[in-house]
Amino acid sequence: AYSWLQEELGPNSEPVITVRFLGTTELSTELKTLLQSLCEQLAINYRCLIHNYPQKIQDLRELFVNLLNESSFHRPLVLIFDALEQLSDSEEARKLWWLPIHLPRSVRVILSTLPNKHGILQKLRCLVQDNDNYIELPQRDRKMCSQILKHQLLQVKRKVTSGQQIYVNEALSKCTLPMFVNLIYHEVKQWRSHKDVDDTSLCVTVHESIEHLFWSLENKCGPRLVSRALGFITMSKTGLSEMELEDVLSLDNYVLNEITASTKLRNPLRIPCYFISRLKEELRGYLVERQVRSVRLLVWANRHLHLIAQKLYLQNEEEVHEMHSIMADYFLGVWAGGRPRLFHPEQSHNQTLDINNKSINDEKQIGEQTFDRQAPEQPWVFQCNSLEPDIFFVNHRKSTELLHHLTKSGRTDDLMYSVIMNFSWLYTMIKIGHLDKVLSDIDLAYNYSQEKELKFLGRTLRGIKLKVVKNPGSLSAELQQRLLPVVSSLPKLRHLLLECDKDGPKYCSIVPLHSSLDVTYSPERLPLTTSYIHVIEVLPTSSPSVIIAALENGSITTWNVESQQIQRQITTANSAVLGMKLTHDEKYLVVSTTKNTLLIYDNHNSCLLSEVEVKGSKHCIAGGGNSFIHGFTLSINHALAWLQGSKDVHVIDLIYGWPLYQFHCWYEVTCVQCSPDGAYAFCGQYLNTTTIFLLGSGEKLSTVTSEFSGGYVKSLLILAAAQEMVMIDNEGSLSVWNIDEITNPQLIEDFDCRGKDNEVVSLELSEDQSAILICKTFSIEMLDTNIWKVAEKFKAKRNERFISAVLSKNGDSIIASMEHMSSIFVWRRDTGQCMASLQEISGAIVKLVKSNLHNLLLSLTTNGVLSVWDIDIITAISNIDKTGKAIQSLLLPGRGELIYTLDGSESVHKWSFSTGYIEAVFKHDGTVENCVLTYSGELMVTSDDKGTQYIWNTVTGDNIFRINGQRISQLLITHNDQFVVSLCNQGVSRVWRLSTGHKVCNILVPMRNAFITYPNTFVIGVSKNKLLAVSLWTGSVTKKFCCDDGTTIVNFKLIPDSPDYVVFITSTETLFVWSVTEEAVCRRVQLPNNFLKNLEDFQISPNGKLGILSRGDDNINIMDLHNGKLRLVPATGIIWRQRLSRDGRYLVYICFRNNSEENDNGAVSTLIVVRLADGKNIGACSLYKTPAFLSLSQRHLNIIVGFDDGSIGTYTVVDRVDAALKIKIATSNSRQIFNNTSQQVRPKRANFMCKYTADCVWRESSEVFARDSPITVSDSSDTLETAPTKKQPHYSDKTGSTLQIDYKCQNFTAES
Burial 153-178 (b: 16+ CB within 10 A, else e): beeeebebeeebbebbeebbeebbee
**Would strands 287-292 and 295-300 be described as parallel, antiparallel, or unpaired?**
antiparallel
Going by C-alpha positions, the residue among 557, 530, 532 that lies closest to residue 546 is 557
* Below-70 pLDDT ranges, the chain: 1-2, 262-268, 347-368, 617-626, 709, 754-757, 1093-1095, 1154-1161, 1216-1241, 1260-1312
One-letter identity of residue 605: N
162 Cβ contact list (under 8 Å, min separation 6)? none
Going by C-alpha positions, the residue among 1006, 1078, 1097 that lies closest to residue 1039 is 1078
Sheet of 865-870, strand order: 524-527, 865-870, 856-861, 845-851
Going by C-alpha positions, the residue among 697, 579, 668, 759 that lies closest to residue 683 is 668
Residue 944: its pLDDT value, please? 93
C-alpha span between 343 and 368 (Å, rounded):
7
Condensed to tens digits (0 to 9), the pLDDT of residues 1194-1225 reads 777 889 999 998 999 999 998 866 544 444 44
Condensed to tens digits (0 to 9), the pLDDT of residues 689-717 reads 999 999 988 899 999 998 876 788 999 99
Contact 1003, 986 (CB under 8 A): no
Contact 919, 939 (CB under 8 A): no
768 Cβ contact list (under 8 Å, min separation 6)? 811
Contact 248, 231 (CB under 8 A): no
**Cα first-last separation, the chain:** 66
Contact 973, 979 (CB under 8 A): yes
Q: What angle do CA 536, 541, 544 make, to 5 degrees?
A: 120
One-letter identity of residue 1194: Q
Residue 1277: its pLDDT value, please? 41
Residue 1250: its pLDDT value, please? 92
Q: How far is CA 1104 from the centre of its chain?
A: 44
Query: DSSP code of 416?
Result: I
What are the distances in angstroms from CA 199 to CA 202, 938, 1129?
7, 101, 88
Q: How far is CA 860 from the centre of its chain?
A: 28
Which contacts of 941-944 are long-range, i.e. CB under 8 A and separated by 24 or more positions? Answer: 941/971, 941/973, 941/980, 941/994, 942/908, 942/971, 943/967, 943/968, 943/971, 943/982, 944/906
Going by C-alpha positions, the residue among 692, 695, 586 that lies closest to residue 639 is 695
Going by C-alpha positions, the residue among 389, 467, 435, 403 that lies closest to residue 27 is 403
**Sign, Cα dihedral of 1258, 1264, 1267, 1271:** positive
Contact 698, 651 (CB under 8 A): yes
C-alpha span between 468 and 650 (Å, rounded):
62
Strands (E), 625-776: 629-634, 638-643, 648-653, 658-664, 669-674, 680-685, 689-694, 700-705, 713-719, 724-729, 734-738, 746-751, 760-765, 771-776
